Every structure is written in C-alpha cells, then in structure tokens.
Amino acid sequence: MYAHKLIITLVIGLMALSSMQVHAEEQAQKPYVGSEAFERMKQLAGSWEGMMDMGKETMKVTTSYKVTSNGSALIETVFEGAPHEMVTVYHDDSKHQINFTHYCSLANQPKMNLTAMKGNTLTFDLSGDSDIDSKHETHMHAAAITFDGKDQITQQWTKFESGKENQIVKVAYSRIK
C-alpha cells in the first residue's frame, strides 16, 4: 500500500513538473524591441558617473541603468541609496513612442513624452496627462539627453517653479568600465 502511494505521488509530481516546463516555455517571449529612441536608451545599461552642474555648484553623481521587463522598460537610478535617491522609468507607450515617469526627490512624479529626436539628442517635455499642477507645483518640466559618444552622455533637466523656468541642471556622464 505504501509503495503504491509513493508511485502515485511520484507520477503526480512528474506530471506537475512537466506541466510547469510546458507553461514556462509558453511564457518565454522574444525580448521587446522598441522605438528607435527607446532602443538607443537601452544601450545605457550599466553604471555611469559624472558631474552635476546646478548653476551655482557642482557635485559628483553616479547613476545606473537597468533593462527590465523583457526589455520593455529601462530603470535609471540616481543617488542610489541616498535619502534623495531618484528613479526614472523609460518605456514606449501604446503608440510606440518613448516616454518616462520621473520619481523625483521633490516628492512628485512628472511624466514626460518625447517631443523631438534630432541628431544625438532626445528632448522630452511634461505630458498633458501628468499629475502635476504645472502652474503652482515645483517640478521637473523638461529633459534632454544627448549621446556624446558610446560612453558619454549629457543630460539637461529643466525645473519649473510657480509656472516658470527656475533652474537648469546639467549632468555630464561617462560610463564606468
């Protein structure tokens, strides 16, 4: 009787493992291939360091980029581990256009859409459906990313306060090898 139960348990276990393998194979997908701008951004995967120019002072900054979600999202992390850590998630929308949500140390989350791709520069502006009161809330309103070479990029972030441009923050990065 014990041997019979053991055999049944083993058979059921093997059937479950076989079913899990078939399910895993069904779930396997080809990696996502996005818009030209998004594919360009995915090439940033890795670690970067640079100098942040905030107009009056400069500071050293490190940033990491990680491709996730089967290649359909890129996570940028700035000031990792610090209380003012910020995360930006880039992805294509349903129209195959890159956009992002920036989880800012200003405690808001501006969404930005690509407005131009000229030469080596991607330009983004605040999305109309962003949950930001752009006339009253201090926020990042625009961003530009310039690919200065395989291992160099420059970012420019435009901060708005009381509905007007208040500060331009520039960061010149080099890839950490």
Per-residue tens of pLDDT for the chain, all 177 residues: 655 565 665 556 556 555 555 455 556 789 999 999 999 999 999 999 999 998 888 999 999 999 999 999 999 999 999 999 999 999 999 999 999 999 999 999 999 999 999 999 999 999 998 999 999 999 999 999 999 999 999 999 999 999 999 999 999 999 999
* 96 and 149 within one domain: yes
* 76 and 7 within one domain: no
Distance between terminal CA atoms of the chain? 63
Domain count across the chain? 2
Of the candidates 95, 97, 99, 59, the residue with the CA atom closest to the CA atom of residue 79: 59
* 18 and 99 within one domain: no
- Residue 104 sits in a domain whose CATH number is 2.40.128.20
- The pTM for the full model equals 0.83
* 88 and 113 within one domain: yes
Query: The domain containing residue 159 runs over which residues?
Result: 36-175
* 50 and 25 within one domain: no
Residue 57: its pLDDT value, please? 86
